[in-house]
Structure formats: C-alpha cells, structure tokens
C-alpha cells in the first residue's frame, strides 16, 4: 500500500516507520530540504511543498490513505487558522481523486467541559479555546468532504496530550529548578504515550469502519497534581508547588474533563501498552 503523510513530525515519523517496516511505501510532505534529507534516511519519500500554498501541492502521488497530522508551529509566519483550516482546505482539494481513505488527527481540545465530566465521541463539542474551535472546524471540513464521496471515507482521531521520549524535558527542567507551576493542581489531564498513539492510528487504518470518530487516550485520566508529583519523584526533583491564582497556560488545566477511550477498546480491541502514566512516564524519561 501507499501512504501520504502531512505533518511528519514527532508522531508522524513513528507512524511512517511502522508502515515502512510493514513493507508499505510512504510519502511525506515537508517545507524543508533538511527535513527531506532526514526523511530519505528513514526510507520516507519526501515531497517539498507547503500546505498553505496550494500550487505547491499540484503533483501529489496517488495513494491508498492520507494521514493529516499537521500541528501548528508557533515559530512560523502563518496564523493558526491559516495552517489548521486553510492548509487543510488545500490538502483536501489536492488529494481529491488521489486517495480513498483519509485520517484526520484532531484533539481532545474540541471539548469545552470544565467540571471534571466524562466525555466520549457522543459528547457535545463547544470549546472555549481558539485552538479547540479550529479543530472543530477542521473536523467539519473533513466530514463534509467525505460524506458526499462514493468509495471514499475518513476517520477522525481525537488525540489527548502526547508524551514520550524527548517530549517532557522542559517539564523536568522546571521541576528540578523548583519553579512554581501556575494553574489548577486539581484539574484532570488526559494523556497518551506516543507509542500508543501510533498503534491507535495503525489499528484504525487496518480495522476501523468508515467515517468514524475515535478518542485516542490512555485508560486513566490523571490529576495534574498527581502527574507532576509522580514526575518529580522519578527525576529526583523537589515536590511541585502550584499557584492556582495565576491563569493556566496552554495544556495545563484550563479545561477540565475526563476522556473515555471505551469506543476504541470496544470497536477495535485496541489496548494501550502504557494504560497510565504509572508505566508510561518511566519509559519516557531520559536514562
């Protein structure tokens, strides 16, 4: 089979490697020649293009499945809306007639619940954050495109916060420095180890029914205080100190809900290798 990845970064590279190891051909779009060279080393076939420039996407290959895992780069000169929605619009137009399946990586930020409620794929999506609102719009764009196409289908995967090797270094440094953590310690975090995010994507690619939405999260939401206390113990840092009077930064408890992965378990028999941070965090810490 042939796969095309947009957003071949921390998560996308791991998915690409898994597909290549399974004997498939993988293409990936990048704006950077430096990234293109690193792709070649991994066996990925690079395509130099920019999703925000539609003409650069004119010569995409015919593939079986497209994975859109583009994240917002805050160092880019583009706005979040230009990348998330404008870029997606260009991707959908450029891949029309060139793929039969589409996987859209979305986020649990589509939920705006803030009282610790449990949410699943049937829960209302009314986010307060601009990023969550853009994710909802992007999901709608994908659904509209594929709901009218015979023989084509899409899956939407709402990923929780990804952690793993090389992904929590800044948090470790903050704890070791004894910095005060702003935001609520009693808010819920929803997380997924990067290896489990990969297996969820692969499982959906192999087994999932057409035009379905799945929450990709581990088995156990964790209180923010417990997360940082556990991490501090593992890296021999002082116990964390929180200041809930300060506004919560992105990803640290501004929204407070618990995400259920029951559908992914039940429909596809997916089971995470790291069902909670108890097993996942030790593996993610540099040795």
Averaged pLDDT score across all residues of the chain: 93
- The helix or strand, by DSSP H or E, that contains position 67, with its residue range, turns out to be strand 65-68
> Any idea which of 145-154, 228-237, 261-270 has the lowest mean pLDDT?
145-154
242 strand-pairing partners: 181
Q: Count CB-CB contacts under 10 A for residue 34.
A: 9
Nearest Cα to Cα of residue 156 among 111, 209, 115:
209
Domain 2-162+193-216 has CATH 3.40.50.720: yes
- Alpha-carbon distance 185 to 252, whole Å? 9
CA 169 to chain centre: 19
**pLDDT-derived band of residue 253, with 50, 70 and 90 as boundaries?**
very low
Instruction: Return the pLDDT at 217.
Output: 98
Instruction: Give the 3-state secondary structure percentages of the chain, helix then strand then coil, rounded to 5.
Output: 40, 20, 40
Instruction: Return the pLDDT at 252.
Output: 41
The pLDDT tens digits for 198-232 are 999 999 999 877 789 999 999 999 999 999 999 99
Q: Which residue has the tokens 């959908």?
A: 92
Backbone angles phi and psi of 30, in degrees to 5 = -145, 150
CATH 3.90.25.10 residue ranges in the chain? 163-189+219-284
What number is the average pLDDT over the span 246-275?
A: 83
CATH 3.40.50.720 residue ranges in the chain? 2-162+193-216
Domain 163-189+219-284 has CATH 3.60.9.10: no
Q: Which residue has the tokens 């066996």?
A: 43
The pLDDT tens digits for 114-144 are 999 999 999 999 999 999 999 999 999 999 9
The pLDDT tens digits for 164-175 are 999 988 899 999
């Amino acid at each position: 089979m042939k796969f095309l990845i947009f957003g071949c970064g921390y998560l996308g590279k791991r998915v690409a490697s898994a597909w290549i190891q399974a004997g498939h051909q993988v293409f990936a779009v990048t704006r950077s020649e430096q990234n293109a060279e690193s792709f070649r080393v991994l066996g990925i076939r690079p395509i130099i293009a920019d999703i925000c420039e539609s003409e650069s996407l004119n010569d995409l290959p015919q593939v079986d499945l497209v994975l859109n895992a583009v994240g917002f780069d805050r160092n880019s000169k583009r706005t979040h809306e230009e990348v998330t929605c404008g870029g997606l619009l260009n991707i959908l137009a450029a891949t029309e007639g060139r793929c039969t399946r589409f996987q859209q990586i979305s986020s649990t930020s589509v939920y705006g619940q803030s009282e610790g409620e449990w949410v699943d794929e049937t829960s209302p999506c009314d986010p307060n954050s601009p990023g969550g609102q853009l994710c909802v719009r992007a999901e709608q764009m994908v659904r509209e495109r594929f709901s009218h196409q015979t023989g084509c289908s899409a899956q939407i995967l709402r990923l929780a916060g990804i952690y793993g090797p090389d992904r929590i270094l800044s948090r470790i440094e903050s704890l070791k420095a004894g910095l005060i953590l702003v935001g609520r310690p009693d808010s819920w975090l929803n997380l997924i180890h990067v290896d489990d995010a990969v297996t969820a994507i692969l499982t959906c690619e192999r087994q999932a029914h057409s035009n379905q939405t799945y929450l990709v999260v581990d088995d156990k939401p964790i209180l923010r205080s417990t997360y940082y206390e556990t991490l501090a113990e593992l890296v021999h840092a002082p116990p964390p100190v929180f200041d809930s009077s300060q506004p919560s930064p992105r990803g640290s408890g501004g929204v407070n809900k618990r995400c259920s992965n029951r559908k992914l378990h039940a429909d596809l028999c997916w089971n995470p290798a790291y069902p909670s941070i108890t097993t996942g965090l030790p593996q993610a810490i540099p040795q």
